Structure 1
Amino acid sequence: MSASDFDGVVVAAGVEVPYSRQPTTGSTGELLAQAFGSLLHESGLSAKDIDGLGVASFTLGPDHAVDLAWRLGLSPRWCMDDCHGGASSINLLQHAIRAIQHGDANVIALVSGDQFQPSDFKNLVENYNLTTRTWLRPLKNGGPNSVFAMLTQRHARRHGLTRADYGAICVAQREWASLNPKAVYRTPMSVDDYLAAPLVADPLGRLDCVPVVGGANAILVTRDDLARGPKAVRVRGLKCLYNADHQVGDGLETSLKQVAADLWRQAGVSPEDVDLVSVYDDYPVMVLAQLSDLGFAADGDLRALIARIASRTLPVNTSGGQLSVGQAGAAGGMHGLVEAIAQLQGKAGDRQVKQAKLAVVSGYGMVEYRYGMCANAVVMERA
């Protein structure tokens, strides 16, 4: 398997509907339609050119992808719903690439997003899956914060880290966010500000916990000869692994650790070659876990890795990440992908990484009762 596995397909565009902290009167379907319209504008295509649609959303129900297709006036030859949370978008991308290569579609729009009313989020965290509803909801544990607080405690003990070490990641991402006009949270933050924030679930403070917002993202995957414009992005490697340890491990390693070697071999590059990284950042601990699993701390020195992130020597989550831009439900799994596309296309404005040619993006999520079951990653290059 090699980068040639992805021949004939490019990612032509990526867009983001600006996230909003306060719920609006619009529905999730309207947000997804807005993202789809922005995607057409960005790509120079029209709705009649789209013959594939993939959708990831927690709150689109009772509608599904086919209902959204109808509302958008589409008659797709390929249509897919995805329910893998933070891993949804890379999962959709994998399937879209294969669909195009095998002639099932030529131009596929992938959209993701959510609009949360307070009752929507409460319902989601209490009924995330059967395990959550049966075993965690009766405990009134408050959702994933308590689960990842315990995971952070284990991680800190194993690696000898302090709260300030995790805070350095939040501060670095806020510095990136200050350069992103679409970030919901752009106010400068120091480590002292981070440490002073109220505790939510020891050792997690308010600034460790990804803020819930509404919003949507979309990307366009197309046959390479149909892409308009010179700034398409190619995939060099993509690997997924789900439910790797059946929830019997300690959660400090994701399944990225098991697929990383194959990912880099397929892409024909190494972590040292990468110009920027987007990792799923629902909590700072998961930033470190995924980066380590991908090989960015090959010697196991997480303090050195944190120093590279804090100094922005290693550009990580250059949009500000979900910790500063916000987590728009299932859109959180596409946010980092859209940011990497923008960077590789040279469209990131003041936060543009100079001469960005190679990026890696990871997805993580779908907590069972201890931690996420899904992880995947994609290596992309400027075409």
Structure 2
Amino acid sequence: MSLKGQAYIVGAYEHPTRHAVDKSLSQLHAEVALGALADAGLSIADVDGYFCAGDVAGWDAPGVGPTSVVEYLGLKLRHLDTTESWGSAYINHIEHAARAIAAGKCRVALITQAGRPRAEKMSPELEHRLQAQSAPESQFELPYGPIVTNMYGMCAMRHMYEHGTTSEQLAWIKVAASHHAQHNPNAVLQKVVTVEEVLSSPIVATPLHRLDCCVISDGGGAVVLAHPDVARSLKRPLVTPIGAGFSVKHLNGGYFDILASGGVQTGAEAFAQAEVKPADIQYASLYDSFTITVLIQLENLGFCPPGQGGRFVADGGLISGVGKLPFNTDGGGLCNSHPGNRGGMTKIIEAVRQLRNEAHPAVQVPSCGLALVHGTGGQLGARHGSATLILEREE
């Protein structure tokens, strides 16, 4: 069944904090929920469907998981979805919410995400180790010390070996993000950087430099989807999902391509369902835990052939108003925020801003009518969830 017109994103809100020392995880969920509902012109009483990552470890959902958030918000539900796929979960939730609305399971769906890794001094590496200790693969992998940074460094090294990609080309991705972040007063890193500054920052995991890495921040966000009848009554811009795909990529017993993420499958599925092609996309929100993450996604999603990502991003290829494909115009995870070490939600929110013509004027894509959102939850080079979403503004 086509997604187009089945439901509409009517509310979106990103929390302004990047260091929540004075707020609990529950407060962050409540504040982003109220912010998105206010943006839509709705209230808590209107929500009958709730979607939240089923993280009972406390990185996103507090307490005993999403049911604690339901009680904290005082929701009266007919439908609950706790699908967990890390940073890609919230993108996947958009499709789930649209299909739940189309099936009559709910009429107003709320999706929230929040996190406090900065306030709790929880680095991605420490989080990964804590989560991996009980995993079935841990006894085989943990003795070799895999952490987030060196796993992505391995992907970058492989791309350089196979395709001749350079550190300078990767640096252009950070440069593009910084050009956008300078217009975002909430961004963690608002200073425009040069390729030279990226390359002169310390090596974290060869060949990745410190500025090739995303920020660690608190915060979160929320979106609200509604039945077409509700959406049209609100007189808000009509943004509808028209294509979606989801997959889980893993090591397959050692038979895998380290440069082929789950986006190979999810991108193809989303484009086929939406009946559009990569060249039609006017704006892209791409998961940017590291610069190499963006490069691999561009190739896997079909924006350029395999091995050509370096050339695609060089010389400002991703800068709004300059390049061929504007990306992450809020500054993304590389400069703006990466709440809870999960960047999927903020990618949705900025895509909605672009389609509503509500992005900062300096980075707004003129007459933006078609946007793509892609998220990777987990790690490239290992196991991860992957979700692609195509959104359209309906006139």
What's the TM-score bracket when you normalise by the shorter of the two chains? over 0.9
CA contact (8 A) 2:299 2:306 kept: no
Q: Deviations over 1:262-288 (max 9, x none)?
A: 322221211111110011111111111
Q: CA deviation at 1:23?
A: 4.8
Report SS of the residue matched to 2:289. Answer: coil
Question: Structure 1 regions of 5+ residues with no counterpart?
Answer: none
Q: CA deviation at 1:161?
A: 1.2
> Which residue number in structure 1 is paired with residue 14 of structure 2?
16
Q: CA deviation at 1:218?
A: 0.3
Rounded Cα–Cα distance in structure 2 between residues aligned with 1:78 and 1:133? 35
1:28 maps onto 2:25 in alignment: yes
Q: Percent identity?
A: 28
> Which residue number in structure 2 is paired with residue 241 of structure 1?
247
> Which residue number in structure 1 is paired with residue 238 of structure 2?
232
Rounded Cα–Cα distance in structure 2 between residues aligned with 1:244 and 1:48? 41
Rounded Cα–Cα distance in structure 2 between residues aligned with 1:192 and 1:25? 37
1:354 maps onto 2:357 in alignment: no
Structure with the largest fraction of helix = 1
Counterpart among 351, 354, 360 of residue 343 in structure 1: 354
Equivalent AA in structure 2 for residue 152 of structure 1: A
Equivalent AA in structure 2 for residue 124 of structure 1: E
Q: CA deviation at 1:234?
A: 0.8
1:274 maps onto 2:281 in alignment: yes
1:45-194 mapped onto 2 (5 Å cutoff): 45-56=42-53, 58-116=59-117, 117-118=119-120, 120-121=122-123, 123-129=126-132, 130-131=135-136, 134-141=139-146, 143-194=147-198
TM-score (normalizing by structure 1) = 0.92
1:318 maps onto 2:318 in alignment: no
Counterpart among 291, 296, 299 of residue 292 in structure 1: 299
Paired residue total: 378
Rounded Cα–Cα distance in structure 1 between residues aligned with 2:126 and 2:204? 20
Q: 1:76 to 1:268 in 2, by over 3 A?
A: same
Q: CA deviation at 1:94?
A: 1.6
Equivalent AA in structure 1 for residue 371 of structure 2: A
CA contact (8 A) 2:159 2:307 kept: no
CA contact (8 A) 1:35 1:217 kept: yes
Rounded Cα–Cα distance in structure 2 between residues aligned with 1:329 and 1:29? 13
Q: Deviations over 1:110-137 (max 9, x none)?
A: 0012112445446522122315754555
Report SS of the residue matched to 1:349. Answer: coil
CA contact (8 A) 1:11 1:220 kept: yes
CA contact (8 A) 2:373 2:389 kept: yes
> Which residue number in structure 2 is paired with residue 255 of structure 1?
262
Rounded Cα–Cα distance in structure 2 between residues aligned with 1:119 and 1:262? 38
> Which residue number in structure 2 is paired with residue 211 of structure 1?
215
Question: Structure 2 regions of 5+ residues with no counterpart?
Answer: none
Rounded Cα–Cα distance in structure 2 between residues aligned with 1:41 and 1:212? 27
Equivalent AA in structure 1 for residue 130 of structure 2: N
TM-score (normalizing by structure 2) = 0.90
Equivalent AA in structure 2 for residue 181 of structure 1: P
Report SS of the residue matched to 2:82. Answer: strand
Deviating more after overlay: 165-174 vs 127-136? 127-136
